[in-house]
Amino acid sequence: MLPPVVIELSPADAASPHVATLVHACTEAVSDGECRAGSTSEAEARALVIVSWQDEAKRAKIEIGIRVKGKSRWVSRELTFRDADPLAERWKTAGFVIGTLVGETEREAEKAAPKPPEVLPKPLPAPPKTEPTPVPKAGPAPRPATRLWAGLELVAGPGLSDGSWRFGAGLVAVYDVPRLPVLGSLGIRYTERPHDSQDLDVRWLDASAGIGFHHSFAGGPRLELRGEAVLERVEANLTGAQQDSASAYSGAARLTGAAGLLVDEGVLLLISAESLGRARGTQITRQGAEIGRAPPLTWALTLGARVRLF
């Protein structure tokens, strides 16, 4: 295996939790070798890379020194990112660019070198001390990976018009559309209001599908707004001396606002508030007398976690 590609960072950048993402992406892109962060002697390095993050990680300047057949060669690139690009994706993109440029620069240097390499390698020269020449801007950043999330939600909120609460859980799948702040969602949920003094317990089972918008900030915070169409089944059960049960289906619409935090590149924690509007309320009666009613408009709170599938 060839000597490593050594990536040098400032002390502040070296403390970032995304350094491992940068090194991993560089190793994937470089040919026949690996990348490391830190410092080493030039004689042990296949390539020396200096990465400088500027403007709150909106720009990254990359300087690469290569030695092939006794000849040294320096190249520079500057990457520019949008505010909407997640911080982890910026570091990952920089890693891919480093690995790609190392291979390209080595091939160009081998073509240009007229003589075989010297027996004793010469040390890499330091970057020029003169005023730097304008660095051409790189093209658009690589297209970010599509994100499909799967998650679990815990639900709590009013169940019947008497103010009693229902509790439950649900599964949700969320798809982030590439290059757009748009998402699609599918979900299934089960909630239950425990039996009361009238020996009545009520259960809800619903399936939903919707679309919405999302925005991710640098550092991990994420906001969502989703609108969903809901098919809901309400089941009421009498568990006392007069046992009975009945169920009904109804259509509904749900609006959800959520705020989340990306605690890892593939794990997202969220808290959300939602409102649900039914086509009509569901009345529960016993021998002609109303003993409960699911109102046409209600709300709930959810706490959830999602895992990125790809």
- H or E stretch covering 150: strand 147-158
The more confidently predicted of residues 20 and 242 is: 20
Q: Which CATH class is domain 147-308?
A: mainly beta
Give the span between the Cα atoms of 248 and 233, in whole angstroms. Answer: 6
Neighbours of 16 (CB within 10 A): 15
Neighbours of 263 (CB within 10 A): 11
| Token pair 């891919």: residue | 96
CB 260 within 8 A of CB 282: no
Give the angle 161-290-255 at the CA atoms, nearest 5°: 30
Residue 125, token pair as written in the block: 């020269």
- Indicate the range of 135-139, 155-159, 228-232 predicted with least confidence: 135-139
- Single-letter residue type at 184: G
pLDDT in tens, 60-100: 999 988 876 667 788 888 999 998 889 899 999 999 999 88
Give the span between the Cα atoms of 162 and 278, in whole angstroms. Answer: 17
Q: Do domains 5-112 and 147-308 have the same CATH topology?
A: no
- What residues pair up with 97 in beta bridges, in sequence order? none
Q: Check pLDDT > 70 for residue 258.
A: yes
Give residue limits of the domains in the chain: 5-112, 147-308
Kind of pairing between the strands at 244-264 and 221-238:
antiparallel
List the one residue out of 108, 58, 48, 47 whose CA is nearest residue 80: 58
- Largest Cα–Cα distance of the chain, in whole Å? 101
What local confidence, expressed as pLDDT, does residue 244 receive? 80
- Indicate the range of 17-26, 98-107, 208-217 predicted with least confidence: 98-107
The more confidently predicted of residues 5 and 228 is: 228
Q: Which CATH class is domain 5-112?
A: alpha beta
Q: Check pLDDT > 90 for residue 14.
A: no
Residue 116, token pair as written in the block: 């075989």
Q: Check pLDDT > 80 for residue 132.
A: no
CB 37 within 8 A of CB 23: yes
What local confidence, expressed as pLDDT, does residue 15 receive? 87
Q: Exposure pattern of 180-194 as b/e (b: 16+ CB <10 Å)?
A: eeebebebebebebe
pLDDT in tens, 140-195: 554 455 589 999 999 999 988 888 899 999 999 999 998 889 999 999 999 999 87
What local confidence, expressed as pLDDT, does residue 143 receive? 44
Burial (0-12, 13-18, 19+ Cβ within 10 Å), 108: middle
CB 48 within 8 A of CB 123: no
Q: Check pLDDT > 80 for residue 11.
A: yes
pLDDT in tens, 280-308: 878 788 777 787 888 899 999 999 999 98
- What residues pair up with 281 in beta bridges, in sequence order? none
